[in-house]
Chain A
């Protein structure tokens, strides 16, 4: 899939195929070209018509909360925290469908405790009145019963390329409350390179790309950003009831006090939790990808799982390691999105295997995945 065409070579496919489309005037009529209706947000405080002041919850390490007013964002899918947090559903205090009632002023459920137990080791155990594990940035709970773990989809997709990079940079940079740069960089350099590849290959893009890649990468970046914010506010003692965010905090702690292998494992744990929350949440987006891209994605995830399980380094050799360790070795990287044409990804992979190692299967069996018959879901559950 790489190096197919030399400098100066000419592509001669002037096929003359014509499309039978039509042209249409986009402006200024009221059809496609109608003036964009600026998004109407339903911000409520103390009732649906009281005010239009949006509020979100500031996370506190002790499980408490304060309400703050964020800047409005235009043109972004309705943020889940604004949709349900500090919003009195239905305009009265009866809650939804007979579920829990919430006080929009204090941002807590007051009239009934959470029917679900809190998570051990987090403030939610001590505070049965918590809302979405005190994590309204990443979760919603429309019925007041169980947080929706996948509600970050729109925000993850809408995160700009620039801010995905900024999230990664911020997390490893000196502008964190603690300076882990020297320790962190070797571990995350492979992840940074991979993120850049997602951009360069066109999978992450502000104007197109892949919804699956954008959602899964975006979910991880939102976890990283949330962890960074908590560390900036509360230092390394920061705690989050969200296991994904806590895992990224734990990585930063380990980067300062743990050994190389321990820190690497902490990073893989955080990475795998974020990765697989996205994998679990976005089957619908995966189904929208072309068949070869689906094959590629599944093999990438499996390879990363195995690489992480074996605690291989995630440094600049990460991509190499991933390609060499996985049960579907070697990976063939579609260098731009999509890059298949009439060749399926699996056929390209088989061709590369034939070039590389004729007896590849016997080696692959030894590597582990095939011999154990494990699937991707098994691996990631090891991080729970």
Chain B
């Protein structure tokens, strides 16, 4: 290739790059206050007034996950220097339970703190058991204790136990270690004081795809009833107002591109129904009034994520009924 062609190629690359940049810039915008952040999951407050998310900044220490309050100027809530792992809103809607570690990596056990929406540390909780918390946390309706999936300290994913954490003392009680066939449990959410809905499934492997399912766990009897069958892969459950239905992401069979939002009655009396055929993001979380759902759109590598609020169709039974 002659020098002239090389120069032409370089110019072409510059032109295309500039055009691509302009195109990307022009196609941005929108979303719910996550400018400058890559977002893993966003959760609405119980009062509907705020949205908090786990994310990493686009600039600076890009591999340290923080807890952030969404807004025009997103505000970091997690203490400086810690690695946020998970969080949940407390029932008052003015504080959050943060699970964090002192640094990135499985050699650092998870700790807990109650954080105000102004970023103040209300109290720190030192759990009397070591483990790693990475998925969702559920707060009991009375706000006294938290339920969270935890696994042993290891760089490798694997089965999870369910912990019950006393939010006053930090005492940990292992609620369930009889996890099913090596499955991971994730995203619990309370239906009542003694009952939660959660996602479960074998961690994806070379021989088996993800096979997540939604189940209702009775904390008194430690028994689970599946609400979805093997014909669909499901994750990210939320409970509707009134506690009659669970809303979740799922796709049928191995048709991953048909990931939509589904719902099913919590008592298992009917098969799941499709609510929204295609989501423009993932990690769906139903808002407190049941009329909208938040999803996260990661964008392209290096982009800030966008948090979309989708309206739930008016025909949904918890709205219509």
Contacts and interface: CB of A to CB of B under 8 A. Distances in A.
Interface residues of B, number: 112
Contact of B310 (A10, A284, A292, A355): A10
Nearest to B281: A336
B134 A208 contact: no
A219 to B, nearest CB: 12
Interface in A247-291: 284-285, 288, 290
Contacts of B297: 2, 335-336
Contacts of A194: 301-302
A161 interface: yes
B301 A333 contact: yes
Interface of B: 1, 5, 8-9, 12-13, 15-17, 19-21, 23, 27-32, 38-40, 56, 58, 62-64, 83, 85, 103-106, 132, 134-135, 151-152, 154-159, 178-184, 186, 199, 201, 203-206, 209-210, 212, 215, 222-229, 231-233, 235, 252, 254-259, 268, 271-278, 280-283, 296-303, 305-306, 308-311, 313-316
A162 B206 contact: no
Contacts of B256: 290, 293, 337-338
A75 B106 contact: no
A292 B257 contact: yes
B315 A14 contact: yes
Given A319-B301, A333-B301, A341-B257, A153 B229 contact: no
A6 B282 contact: no
A3 B226 contact: no
A125 interface: no
Contacts of A9: 310-311
A359 to B, nearest CB: 10
A197 B313 contact: no
Contacts of B85: 162
A77 B203 CA distance: 10
Interface string A63-76: 00000000001111
Contact of B19 (A27, A200, A288, A357): A357
B12 A18 contact: no
Nearest to A17: B274
Interface string A151-174: 001110111111101101110000
Contacts of B62: 189, 192-193, 196
A208 B226 contact: no
Contacts of A170: 105
A162 B106 contact: yes
B226 A2 contact: no
A21 B231 contact: yes
B206 A154 contact: yes
10 tightest A-B CB contacts, nearest first:
A75-B158, A10-B311, A166-B105, A21-B229, A14-B313, A200-B298, A324-B17, A333-B300, A197-B301, A208-B210
Nearest to B258: A341
Interface stretch (A83-91, A93-101, A116-124, A209-217): A209-217
A205 B9 CA distance: 39
A145 interface: no
Contacts of A12: 311, 313
Interface residues on A, range: 35 or more
Contact of A320 (B20, B27, B212, B282): B20
Contact of B135 (A11, A206, A290, A368): A206
A363 B28 CA distance: 26
Contacts of A166: 103-106, 155
Contacts of B64: 169
Contact of B23 (A11, A163, A290, A356): A356
Contacts of A337: 256, 282
A66 to B, nearest CB: 22
A367 interface: yes
A21 B227 CA distance: 9
Contacts, number: 336
B130 to A, nearest CB: 13
Among B19, B232, B235, max chain A CB count under 10 A is at B19
Contacts of A32: 180-181, 226
Given A192-B62, A367-B13, A207 B235 contact: yes
Contact of B12 (A285, A319, A367): A367
A210 B209 CA distance: 8
12 contacts: A3-B30, A5-B280, A14-B276, A16-B315, A21-B228, A21-B271, A74-B158, A76-B157, A159-B156, A196-B301, A325-B13, A341-B278
A143 B153 CA distance: 33
A190 interface: yes
A169 B108 CA distance: 14
A340 interface: yes
Interface in A17-48: 17-28, 32-37, 39
Nearest to A341: B278
A316 interface: yes
A202 B310 contact: no
B104 A5 contact: no
B105 A13 contact: no
Given A14-B316, A336-B281, A336-B297, A206 B184 contact: yes
A108 interface: no
Interface string A288-312: 1010110000000000000000000
Contacts of B106: 160, 162-163, 166
Given A24-B226, A208-B212, A323 B20 contact: yes
A197 B303 CA distance: 8
Given A19-B272, A21-B228, A196-B62, 4 more contacts: A7-B30, A11-B310, A35-B180, A162-B106
Contacts of A21: 228-229, 231-232, 271-272
A284 B208 CA distance: 12
A355 B26 CA distance: 12
